[in-house]
Structure 1
Amino acid sequence: MKVAIVHEWFVDYSGSERVVEQLLQVYPHADLFAVIDFMPQPLQQHIQHKSVTTTFIQKLPFARNHYRNYLFLMPLAIEQLDVSSYDVVISSSHAVAKGVLTHASQLHICYCHSPARYAWDLYHQYLNETGLRSSFKGFLAKLVLHRFRNWDAASAQRVDFFIANSKYIGRRIKKNYGKDSVVIYPPVAIENYALSPAKGDYYFTASRMVPYKRIDLIVEAFSAMPDKKLIVIGEGPDFEKVKELAGANVTLLGYQPYDVLRTHMQQARAFVFAAEEDFGITPVEAQACGTPVIALAKGGALETVTSETGVFFDTQDKNSIIEAVQRFEEKESSFNPQLIRKSVEKFNQIRFRDELRQFVMEKYHEFRQSL
């Protein structure tokens, strides 16, 4: 079985790249395709230092740092990748990868991290936060996203089977594309996060600082609770905005190495999570450390956090977070670190590989018999 793996872009090592890493563990001889490949040399170990077949966008001006500005060209670009010689095409998609062209004798399975948020669910939020609600530049952005949305829905019909990374994403796939899906939760390196029953005196959050992660709300809430300490790790476009909101009890550490992040996660009283995330790997990593989670009751967190492992708040606002922290402290002594870790062990990498391998083989055999 000759396999091609089509990914959006290789520029760093985040959640979707972790999925590709595990796909390559299952199919080590697969070939890689992507819109662009600017992954730094040290990170290429995660994709077995494989060469990546890219599109013409790879050679366009400023593509290394501003590739997202070429979104209007990406549907055309992804369709130029020639994967016609492969038996199975697995796309790892949150934007355009699923739009790769396949023929009737090929099986195309899409592992969908999310339908593109900025084109669908978060369209109006994106326009507001980027100042594109009005002006000529805003008109162009709306036109591009309108055309992208039409292409996105049409290209989804090229996929034979969708795998969703959560039930939440499965509902979005059905809503936006009209397609059913099966859920295979993404791989989390549970074994890298040792259980730590001993906790410190601070709360903790970590994320890339982009608007939808809502780190600003978490910092604002804790700044209104000067008797409670919050430590934040992460950097990004919203860093200066978040810094202006931070009170004396809030420590912003910016980017930190993995070991530093993990140590803070292990020793925190609780991990605070305010994003409506597709799945949310960091809350799972926190629980693997035996650390309870204070999370927004939306998105993937509803599938990874329970009343025995954390506390929920219903809305993305300062007062809801403050109230959730108060409820957490009322029941803090009842949380069992061993039980918290045990609850997320099912999200391990071996489970992902086994479920993925079984699903692909079943569908491949069914597909071949139907030819």
Structure 2
Amino acid sequence: MKIALVTDWLISYAGSEKVEEAILGLFPEADVYTCVYDPDAFSQTRFVEHEVRQSFISRLPKAKTHYQKYLPLMPYAVEQFDLAAYDVIISSSHAVAKGVLTGPDQLHVCYCHTPIRYAWDFQHQYLAESGMGKGIKGIVARYLLHRLRLWDVRTANGVDFFVANSRYIARRINKVYRRDAEVIYPNVAVDDFSLVEEKDDFYLAASRLVPYKRVALIVEAFTKMPDKRLVVIGHGEQMGQIKQMLTPNITYLGYQPFAELKHYMEQAKAFVFAAEEDFGIMPIEAQACGTPVIAYGRGGALETVVDGETGIHFYEQSCAGIVAAVERFEREGVKRSPALIRSHAERFSRQRFDERFKNFVDERWSEFRRQRGF
């Protein structure tokens, strides 16, 4: 079968891009299509072995650095990809990739990281955090998101099979598109992390410093617990705000290479995670080190962190919620040993993803061929 892999954009090497690289490993003959691509960010990945075909957006001013501003053009952009020569189209989509045009004799499998968060139930939060909740900008943004929702629902009809990265996202797919989805958890590089049984006396928060990650909320909570140490790793738009919040018990290290991040993750007494994520890879990486996770009990964390066993959930995304969870952790701990916490993380390994996703695509293609008499 001739395969095309379609992604939203390839600008930074993060969670969805790691899934896409794994898919390329399973189907190395696939051709790659995306709205805009920054090859420098993927110089150490499988993408360098492929010709990445970009949309016209890549030729627009500052496309690599301001690609998000071109979101209103992206539905039109992905519809211009000519995929007529392919048997199977695999889209990896959290925005527009699933909207490519396909024919009745082409199989389209969408690995959906989420329906477009900022166009659906996160619209109001997104507009408030981006400063576009009011005025003319707000009116225009709301109208564009309204149009995007209409397009998003329509193009779901072009997908033959949805695969969700968590049960949480499967529920969102059913809510938005009224479609069922197979759940195949993303590939987490569990083997890149080492089990450490003896932990140091500090908590760790590590993430991109953007509003929805809620790292500033974690920092604020630890300012109210001066007897507990917190180490913060990451960089982003909230870096200045977080630096201003620091107290003597909080250490901010900024961006750190993987080896340093891994070291702190292995040594921490617990990893603190306050975001509502679709899946959330870092809590799995922490558990691969045998490190418990104190996580906001919404989204993917409900599936990856077992309350009282491999971590602690808090259900109010607030300072008080985090403080109460840390106090509960200090008082009760968790039931599983570091070795059993790592064993739990291995459920989300790269090998498990490879086996399940490859089998899913192969089986759906075999069924598709039989039904059409190929």
| Partner in structure 2 of residue 283 of structure 1 | 283
| Partner in structure 1 of residue 57 of structure 2 | 57
Is the aligned partner of 1:106 residue 2:106? yes
Instruction: Please state how far the C-alpha of 1:331 moved relative to its aligned partner.
Output: 2.0
| Partner in structure 1 of residue 47 of structure 2 | 47
Instruction: Please state how far the C-alpha of 1:42 moved relative to its aligned partner.
Output: 5.4
Instruction: Please state how far the C-alpha of 1:319 moved relative to its aligned partner.
Output: 0.4
| Partner in structure 2 of residue 94 of structure 1 | 94
Q: Distance in 1 between matches of 2:45 and 2:304?
A: 29
CA contact (8 A) 1:95 1:115 kept: yes
- What secondary structure is seen at the aligned counterpart in 2 of 1:40? helix
Q: Distance in 2 between matches of 1:241 and 1:119?
A: 27
Gaps of 5+ in 1: none
Q: Distance in 2 between matches of 1:303 and 1:334?
A: 17
CA contact (8 A) 1:20 1:47 kept: no
| Partner in structure 1 of residue 233 of structure 2 | 233
Instruction: Please state how far the C-alpha of 1:128 moved relative to its aligned partner.
Output: 1.0
Instruction: Please state how far the C-alpha of 1:44 moved relative to its aligned partner.
Output: 4.7
Summarize the alignment of residues 16-55 of structure 1 with structure 2, pairs less than 5 Å apart: 16-40=16-40, 43-55=43-55
Q: Distance in 2 between matches of 1:121 and 1:244?
A: 32
Q: Distance in 2 between matches of 1:7 and 1:24?
A: 12
Structure 1 consecutive aligned stretches of length 4 or more whose deviation exceeds 6 Å: none
Q: 1:253 to 1:46 in 2, by over 3 A?
A: farther
Is the aligned partner of 1:354 residue 2:355? yes
One-letter amino acid matched to 1:319: A
Report the more deviating stretch, 231-240 or 167-176: 231-240
- What TM-score do the two structures reach when normalised by structure 2? 0.97
| Partner in structure 2 of residue 319 of structure 1 | 320
Summarize the alignment of residues 184-333 of structure 1 with structure 2, pairs less than 5 Å apart: 184-306=184-306, 307-332=308-333
Instruction: Please state how far the C-alpha of 1:332 moved relative to its aligned partner.
Output: 2.6
Instruction: Please state how far the C-alpha of 1:119 moved relative to its aligned partner.
Output: 0.7
Q: Distance in 2 between matches of 1:333 and 1:98?
A: 41
CA contact (8 A) 1:12 1:40 kept: no
Is the aligned partner of 1:11 residue 2:11? yes
Q: Distance in 1 between matches of 2:334 and 2:183?
A: 34
Q: Distance in 2 between matches of 1:88 and 1:261?
A: 38
Q: Distance in 2 between matches of 1:334 and 1:133?
A: 45
Instruction: Please state how far the C-alpha of 1:333 moved relative to its aligned partner.
Output: 7.1
One-letter amino acid matched to 2:227: D
- What secondary structure is seen at the aligned counterpart in 1 of 2:198? coil
CA contact (8 A) 2:13 2:42 kept: no
CA contact (8 A) 1:7 1:97 kept: yes
1:139-163 superposed Cα distances (whole Å, 9 cap, x missing partner): 1111111111111111111100000
Count, aligned residues: 371
CA contact (8 A) 1:188 1:347 kept: yes
Q: Distance in 2 between matches of 1:150 and 1:56?
A: 23
- What secondary structure is seen at the aligned counterpart in 1 of 2:49? coil
| Partner in structure 2 of residue 137 of structure 1 | 137
Identity of aligned residues (%): 52
CA contact (8 A) 1:206 1:234 kept: yes
Instruction: Please state how far the C-alpha of 1:291 moved relative to its aligned partner.
Output: 0.2
CA contact (8 A) 1:203 1:231 kept: yes
CA contact (8 A) 2:274 2:295 kept: yes
Q: 1:91 to 1:114 in 2, by over 3 A?
A: same
Is the aligned partner of 1:173 residue 2:176? no
Q: Distance in 1 between matches of 2:42 and 2:106?
A: 34
Instruction: Please state how far the C-alpha of 1:48 moved relative to its aligned partner.
Output: 4.4
Q: 1:89 to 1:133 in 2, by over 3 A?
A: same
One-letter amino acid matched to 1:342: S
- What secondary structure is seen at the aligned counterpart in 2 of 1:231? strand
